[in-house]
Amino acid sequence: EAGVAQSPRYKIIEKRQSVAFWCNPISGHATLYWYQQILGQGPKLLIQFQNNGVVDDSQLPKDRFSAERLKGVDSTLKIQPAKLEDSAVYLCASSLGLYSYEQYFGPGTRLTVT
């Protein structure tokens, strides 16, 4: 079974530029998550989708971050404009359903903002 796919793996941009990350979850997984992981910390949830609907985006900085999962499968996370403090690894995860289900992570995208 293929795992969670993410691209790109690495991205370097200047502050105030925009960037987009793509994620394709494990086949059949209805729930998709985007996390931000800063060095030395655990992943922090940014947004979670159930099919193509948003379940929780309470920790998403909506003035600069946006995410969509239009057809209930793959998803895109965008940052516009980027700030230095956005430098982190962006992880996508998926699970069969909401709450209590095991989540499986993709390889992540390492973003460096200069």
Partner 1 sequence: QKEVEQNSGPLSVPEGAIASLNCTYSDRGSQSFFWYRQYSGKSPELIMSIYSNGDKEDGRFTAQLNKASQYVSLLIRDSQPSDSATYLCAGYTGRRALTFGSGTRLQVQP
Q: Which residues of the chain form contacts with partner 1 (CB under 8 A)?
A: 33, 40-45, 48, 56, 58, 89, 91, 98-100, 102-108
8 A C-beta contact, residue 11 and residue 22? no
With beta carbons less than 8 A apart as the criterion, state whether 98 and 50 touch: yes
Q: Minimum distance from CB of 83 to partner 1 (Å)?
A: 22
Q: How far apart are CA 22 and CA 48, in angstroms?
A: 14
Of 22 and 104, nearer to partner 1 (C-beta) is: 104
Report residue 105 CA to chain centroid gap. 10
Residue whose CB is less far from partner 1, 1 or 102: 102
Instruction: Give the residue with the Cβ less far from partner 1, 56 or 74.
Output: 56
Buried b (16+ CB within 10 A) or exposed e, 56-66: ebeebeeeebb
Compute the least distance from the CB of residue 38 to partner 1, in Å: 10
- Closest approach, Cβ 21 to partner 1, in A, equals 13
Q: Could you tell me the smallest distance in angstroms from the CB atom of residue 89 to partner 1?
A: 8
- Residue 15 is classified by DSSP as T
